[in-house]
Structure 1
Amino acid sequence: MARRLALITGASAGIGAAFARIYASHGYDVALTARRLDRLEALAAEIRMRFGVEAYAISADLADPGGVDVVLAAIAAEGREIDALVNNAGYGLPGTYDQTSWTDQSAFLQVMLTSVCALTHKVLPGMVERRFGRIVNVASLAGLVPGAAGHTLYAATKSFLVKFSQSLHLENLANGVHVSALCPGFTLSEFHDVNGTRAQVSQSLPAWMWLGADEVAAAGYEAAEANRPVCVTGAPNKAIAVLAKIIPDEWALALIANQGGKFRKV
């Protein structure tokens, strides 16, 4: 039987690259997409040599409304179908809502929300038909707690991904398609370097609050295999998620307001 294929978005570094290695280690061929082709090609070469599977590097910008179709066309051109989808591409957009441009916010929504929904909508029917599929939507602990000042749409989009994943999970219980929302907390990756908050978070958070990208991706893979609709990584993050559910909303919001300024670049 031919190997299954996993598509990972935002695969050039961090959690996305870790997911690519995890799926390849379990015998999947992988399709890697991000904007930085040089990094994708280097990772693809590593995966081929290390795991003996096929790896495709596809350069695409998911901020472009046509980006999803570029990715899917490249995969179709190889005669392949997608068996696992990891919607990982994402970033933070510092600044308050009124002080950031709509052009930037619109592109943010395209990457974080619209492209996720479009990719999932386009690959899901084939998964259902074949009675096999794995979908991991990389959300965040931020989607399970009150929103903070700055990065205004970040928590909102991550909360959407949690609810989206839960609904898809229920809709596909009998279809052989597993859907999970992965909710990591602070992760050792390039995320904070890209959005300019590395200094704040490094100074404000203890080492035990951080997980490695490999740990996060492994938890996401296991959650999808077990068909758990939501996976929060790490004991501290699980505790925070539970606390956010049980304390009054106004208390939770006050805590977020007090802590948020310490590690977010507003």
Structure 2
Amino acid sequence: MPTTAPPDRARSGHALITGASSGIGADIAREYARRGKPLVLVARREERLRALADELGGQVPCTVIASDLADPAAPAALFAATSERGIFVDTLVNNAGYGVPGRFLSADWKTHADFLQVLLTSVAELTWRFLPAMEAAGHGRILNVASLAGLVPPTAGHTLYGATKAWLIRFSETLAEEEKGRGIHVTALCPGMTYTEFHDVNGMRAKVAKLPKSIWLSSAEVARLGVDAVESGRRVVVTGRANRMIAGLSKYLPQPLAAALIGAKSKDFRDSD
């Protein structure tokens, strides 16, 4: 089992944030910087990470590590890089992610394999590697950025996205139960529609722009809610009143009715071609 000797005081630990180059990840970094937390910023786009480090470096120490989590070797290399620098990570934010639009068979297997490596396998491995030192220190925070998609009935298109987010929510809940009493909080953050680059990257911006503005939140607000939730020990948090209502309806309505309602609107935010 991997170990890193923790310092005497847990508050000297760093927050490691994957997918920190933009969107919710960058705003989680800003939120932790505002609270005085040293940062390890991780993403593929090193130039963006360095720009963020320049922005936040006057508030807290920032370490930049460029890493592509689609590479199966990346989690171990990332853990080794922090260990070599003597960095104790007491806050792990598993935020890196993206969507693969269209039907399951519309993409090649390498595309799906990379997706699963980033959104599922790397999350489990990074948690497994960094958690022992948190347990040794008696203090830790793990914030897993899931999605409302993991709480609502499935729809056609983006086939693996909702499935991986549902897994991430259950993984977070199970881990939170295991770590109860050890000083470690585990939270699944479940945003709905959020103003980020996510929909530009997956080519869905034109479709989602038709959705009501009332259901959208800024990434800064989502970040604040997520950090507040993990610090207070909440296991699952859905951001925004409208999204909480959608999640509640999905939970309490008869499954066929909930699926029909979600399916009727899915063409506005899912590409199933």
The two structures have a TM-score, normalised by structure 2, of: 0.94
Question: Which one of 168, 174, 180 corresponds to residue 167 of structure 1?
Answer: 174
CA distance in structure 1 between the partners assigned to 2:269 and 2:229 by the alignment: 29
1:3 to partner: Cα distance: 2.6
1:77 to partner: Cα distance: 2.0
CA distance in structure 2 between the partners assigned to 1:262 and 1:26 by the alignment: 37
Corresponding residue of 1:218 = 224
Corresponding residue of 1:64 = 71
Q: How does 1:182-261 map to 2 (within 5 A)?
A: 182-203=189-210, 205-261=211-267
Conserved? CA contact 1:3–1:27, under 8 Å? no
1:147 to partner: Cα distance: 1.2
SS at match of 1:83: strand
1:193 to partner: Cα distance: 0.4
**Structure 1 position 82 matched with structure 2 position 89:** yes
Q: How does 1:1-266 map to 2 (within 5 A)?
A: 3-49=12-58, 51=59, 53-203=60-210, 205-266=211-272
1:27 to partner: Cα distance: 1.4
Deviation per residue, 1:144-179 (Å, 9 max, x gap): 001111100000000001100001111111100000
For 1:191, give the aligned amino acid: F
For 1:200, give the aligned amino acid: K
CA distance in structure 1 between the partners assigned to 2:121 and 2:52 by the alignment: 26
SS at match of 1:153: helix
Deviation per residue, 1:198-230 (Å, 9 max, x gap): 000002x11111000010010000100110110
For 1:251, give the aligned amino acid: L
Report % sequence identity: 51
Q: Which runs of 5+ in 2 are unaligned?
A: 1-8
Q: Which runs of 5+ in 1 are unaligned?
A: none
CA distance in structure 1 between the partners assigned to 2:16 and 2:105 by the alignment: 35
1:117 to partner: Cα distance: 0.3
CA distance in structure 1 between the partners assigned to 2:46 and 2:80 by the alignment: 17
CA distance in structure 2 between the partners assigned to 1:164 and 1:75 by the alignment: 24
Provide the aligned C-alpha RMSD in A.
1.0
1:126 to partner: Cα distance: 0.7
For 1:155, give the aligned amino acid: G
1:265 to partner: Cα distance: 2.1
SS at match of 1:109: helix
1:253 to partner: Cα distance: 1.2
CA distance in structure 2 between the partners assigned to 1:83 and 1:261 by the alignment: 41
Conserved? CA contact 1:216–1:233, under 8 Å? yes
1:138 to partner: Cα distance: 0.3
CA distance in structure 2 between the partners assigned to 1:83 and 1:72 by the alignment: 13
SS at match of 1:228: coil
For 1:32, give the aligned amino acid: L
SS at match of 1:93: coil
CA distance in structure 2 between the partners assigned to 1:44 and 1:70 by the alignment: 21
For 2:244, give the aligned amino acid: K
More deviation in 249-258 or 145-154? 249-258
1:26 to partner: Cα distance: 1.2
